[in-house]
Chain A
Amino acid sequence: GDSVTQMEGPVTLSEEAFLTINCTYTATGYPSLFWYVQYPGEGLQLLLKATKADDKGSNKGFEATYRKETTSFHLEKGSVQVSDSAVYFCAMNSGGYQKVTFGTGTKLQVIP
């Protein structure tokens, strides 16, 4: 069945370090892909999305490219800040009725 796999955390980085969080998916058909972020004590928010192969989603300095050949959607940021500390979820929207499936989440902690 459809599934999303993302790297386990927690990930601890120093401020201004480079971030990569890996995400791969398995889906029948042609899903849309998303990264959601959950800041401490807050709800899930959409961070970025991509709807077709080779699309690049970007927001707040974060980027992810839809790679159909490797079924991946890795999240990257060139220089993280303390305020980026949160849990990041990779997700996809697939099937005729657009079921949204989430990965298990990766907790990021950025230290000054």
Chain B
Amino acid sequence: EAGVAQSPRYKIIEKRQSVAFWCNPISGHATLYWYQQILGQGPKLLIQFQNNGVVDDSQLPKDRFSAERLKGVDSTLKIQPAKLEDSAVYLCASSHSRQGRNTEAFFGQGTRLTVV
């Protein structure tokens, strides 16, 4: 089966500019996650969708970050305006999980963002 697709793979922007990332999860996966992975650290959950509803966005900097998952399939993550500290790899993942267990998350290759 096809994996989680993300684009672009790399992006360089100046601070205060805006940027958007796109994710297409594995077909049939109800749960979609966006993570931020700063160099040398573990992935930090930004937002989790169940179908097209948000179930956790407690660590999303809502003054500058936004995400949507229209129709419960593809998702976009936007940063506006970007700051230097937003430089990181942004990972999208998806899983089968609904209210069940035993499911792992499958990750895309990530988008490496550099803010200069």
Q: Does A34 contact B (CB under 8 A)?
A: yes
> Which of B35, B55, B103 is in CB contact (< 8 Å) with A93?
B103
B108 neighbours in A (Cβ, 8 Å): 43
Q: Mark B90-116, 1 if CB is under 8 A from A, else 0.
A: 010101010111111111111000000
A101 adjacent to B45 (CB under 8 Å) = yes
Closest to B40 in A: A105
Of A11-19, A44-52, A61-69, A70-78, which binds chain B? Answer: A44-52
Closest to B53 in A: A97
> B11 to nearest A CB, angstroms?
17
> Which of A43, A93, A96 is in CB contact (< 8 Å) with B107?
A43
- The interface size of chain B toward A, counting residues with CB under 8 Å, comes to 29
Q: Main SS of the interface on chain A?
A: strand
Binding site for A on B (CB under 8 A): 31, 33, 35, 40-45, 48, 50, 55-56, 91, 93, 95, 97, 99-110
Q: What are some 22 contacts across the A-B interface (CB < 8 A)?
A: A32-B101, A32-B102, A34-B104, A36-B107, A43-B107, A43-B110, A44-B91, A44-B107, A46-B106, A49-B104, A93-B97, A93-B104, A97-B48, A97-B56, A98-B97, A98-B101, A99-B56, A102-B42, A102-B44, A103-B42, A104-B41, A105-B40
